[in-house]
Amino acid sequence: MTTPNDRHWHRSTLREVRRAVRAQRERQGLIGQSLYLGTLGLVFVLPVVAATYIGLWIDEKLPGYSVRGTLSGIVAGIAIGALNVYLIIRERP
């Protein structure tokens, strides 16, 4: 004969086992985490570098713009890179 405590213990144990199995399946390894962080780094750095070079090119083409284009490119690149990182993190389950 089973008592209410036995049934409660069985349900709670079963729930814990299911949670542990789900966590094991969803756990990423070291390589997966490294790839994710590398991707975040690239989607942040590439817009910064691209916008900086565009700003530098603008500075070289237009007289009187010594560093305004480069600084504007850096600021714009940081903003775009931060937005990219935010969007990628938001999409991850």
Query: What confidence score (pLDDT) does residue 51 get?
Result: 96
Query: What confidence score (pLDDT) does residue 40 get?
Result: 94
11, burial (CB in 10 Å: exposed 0-12, middle 13-18, buried 19+): exposed
Query: What confidence score (pLDDT) does residue 63 get?
Result: 80
What's the predicted TM-score (pTM) here?
A: 0.66
Q: Give me the numbers of helices (H) and strands (E) for the chain, helices first please.
A: 3, 0
Query: What confidence score (pLDDT) does residue 2 get?
Result: 58
Q: In whole angstroms, what is the distance from residue 30 CA to residue 51 CA?
A: 32
Residue 47, pLDDT above cutoff 90: yes
Residue 92, pLDDT above cutoff 80: no
Kindly indicate the confidence band of residue 68, based on its pLDDT and cuts at 50, 70 and 90.
confident
